[in-house]
């Protein structure tokens, strides 16, 4: 089929099925979400029909986090991650019993290798040509580059989807993602796209995960359910010191990289607390409080008003201590999860990229300039034909 005919067919479909693929900065897993999608922004609706957390093999993880990577390493990682993302998509499609031609497109974020907004540079591994070739499905990918070409930070990119899915006529809402990095989208009651504010609030799970790895010599990757932090007491001195971080004080637009939150700092704090006779639980409580406070502070410092509702998503929703701390810091705000809106929290970003790919295939822009700082709204991503 010619590409023009494919796209005309795509446009005409009342409902389209897309698979969104995402792996966050902490590379926990490849999230694959199958989405039945209707319409287009602002009148878009999504129904998540399937979700898979596809494991990332140790070999790929070791290469991803290898200290010194050459140009050839980048080229090989691009291939390995591309194959992995293709596998994730195919496994989900098979689980759902879908035929491949029942999926119109794949939206792949890839795995970020580096993100340097000051130099307008970013690099995501996960070659979409491989995804298209293995699946036989048109693939849209590499979303961040075009926003950066237009002068933006290349992040956050979820705001358009947040706006389309969650904007409320009567309530101020904040959509808070808790990935490795945490980001917020501000949706004022009855606002338009121009009213949207979005930025990275700071650490999501990255500091907590880093602390767990440090304390257990890598045996534990996460504080499951926030159980350890729940038993401890946050140390006010270290908490204040951490919250004075340059990134947290800087006004938006801003986007963070794992490199912005130095795990050395976590290690130093942990050692100092241990030497002072404080427990592991106290250290976990302190670092979890850093995360919760940094989010609440960002709302107070940088949003035009406090939200009526916060809709949290991402892996961090399973950390109940983090959510409880967030509720304590935001007593006037209802803290809800994406599940209340029919979207599994873990699927959130994959769904957002499916929404963006849908816009791209319809020839429409996907970034929100007030969120990324771009000069204009531009279509995002590159299209790899089936």
How far apart (Å, rounded) are the C-alpha atoms in residues 284 and 209? 10
Q: Binding mask 147-186 vs a second copy (x if CB under 8 A, - otherwise)?
A: -xxx------------------------------------
How far apart (Å, rounded) are the C-alpha atoms in residues 321 and 229? 7
Task: Tell me if 117 contacts a second copy by CB under 8 A.
Answer: no
Q: Are strands 197-203 and 309-313 parallel, antiparallel or unpaired?
A: unpaired
Task: Tell me if 127 contacts a second copy by CB under 8 A.
Answer: yes
Query: What number of chain residues touch a second copy (CB under 8 A)?
Result: 55
Helix or strand or coil: residue 202?
Answer: strand
Considering only 91, 145, 220, 231, the residue that binds a second copy (CB under 8 A) is 145
Helix or strand or coil: residue 115?
Answer: strand
Considering only 128, 156, 314, 316, the residue that binds a second copy (CB under 8 A) is 128
Task: Tell me if 69 contacts a second copy by CB under 8 A.
Answer: yes
How far apart (Å, rounded) are the C-alpha atoms in residues 110 and 356? 14
> Shortest approach of a second copy to residue 202 CB, angstroms?
22
* Pick 136 or 342: Cβ nearer a second copy: 136
Distance of alpha carbon 280 from its chain centroid, rounded? 28
Considering only 32, 132, 312, 354, the residue that binds a second copy (CB under 8 A) is 132
Phi, psi dihedral angles at 48 (to 5 degrees)? -80, 115
Considering only 27, 36, 49, 114, the residue that binds a second copy (CB under 8 A) is 114
How far apart (Å, rounded) are the C-alpha atoms in residues 327 and 226? 14
> Shortest approach of a second copy to residue 32 CB, angstroms?
19
Considering only 27, 36, 49, 76, the residue that binds a second copy (CB under 8 A) is 76
Q: List all residues 6 or more positions away from 262 whose beta carbon is below 8 Å from its beta carbon.
A: none
Within 248-340, strands assigned E span 309-313, 334-337
Binding site for a second copy (CB under 8 A): 1-8, 10-11, 68-76, 78-79, 82, 113-114, 116, 119-123, 127-130, 132-134, 141-142, 145-146, 148-150, 360-364, 378-379, 382-385
């Amino acid at each position: 089929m010619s590409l023009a005919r494919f796209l005309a067919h795509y446009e005409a479909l009342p409902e389209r099925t897309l698979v969104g693929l995402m792996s966050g900065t902490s590379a926990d897993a490849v999230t694959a979400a199958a989405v039945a999608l209707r319409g287009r922004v602002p009148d878009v609706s999504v129904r998540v029909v399937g979700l898979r957390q596809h494991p990332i093999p140790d070999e790929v993880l070791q290469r991803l986090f290898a200290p010194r990577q050459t140009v050839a390493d980048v080229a090989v990682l691009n291939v390995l991650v591309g194959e992995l993302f293709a596998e994730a998509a195919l496994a989900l499609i098979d689980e759902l019993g879908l035929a491949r031609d029942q999926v119109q497109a794949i939206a792949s974020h890839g795995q970020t290798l580096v993100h340097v907004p000051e130099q307008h540079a970013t690099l995501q591994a996960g070659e979409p040509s491989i995804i298209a070739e293995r699946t036989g499905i048109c693939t849209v990918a590499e979303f961040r580059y075009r926003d950066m070409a237009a002068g933006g930070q290349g992040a956050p990119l979820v705001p358009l989807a947040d706006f389309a899915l969650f904007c409320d006529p009567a309530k101020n809402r904040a959509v808070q993602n808790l990935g490795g990095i945490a980001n917020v989208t501000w949706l004022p009651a009855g606002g338009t796209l121009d009213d949207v504010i979005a930025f990275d609030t700071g650490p999501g799970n990255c500091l907590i995960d880093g602390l767990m790895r440090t304390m257990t010599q890598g045996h534990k990757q996460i504080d499951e359910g926030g159980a350890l932090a729940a038993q401890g007491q946050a140390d006010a001195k270290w908490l204040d010191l951490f919250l004075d971080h340059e990134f947290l004080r800087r006004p938006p637009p801003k986007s963070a990289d794992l490199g912005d939150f130095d795990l050395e700092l976590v290690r130093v704090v942990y050692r100092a607390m241990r030497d002072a006779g404080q427990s592991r639980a106290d250290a976990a409580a302190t670092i979890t409080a850093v995360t919760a406070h940094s989010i609440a502070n960002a709302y107070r410092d940088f949003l035009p008003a406090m939200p009526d509702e916060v809709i949290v998503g991402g892996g961090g929703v399973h950390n109940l201590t983090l959510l409880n701390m967030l509720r304590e810091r935001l007593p006037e705000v209802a803290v809800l999860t994406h599940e209340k809106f029919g979207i599994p929290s873990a699927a959130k970003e994959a769904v957002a990229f499916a929404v963006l790919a849908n816009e791209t295939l319809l020839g429409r822009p996907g970034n929100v300039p007030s969120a990324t700082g771009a000069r204009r709204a531009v279509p995002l991503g590159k299209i790899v034909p089936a």
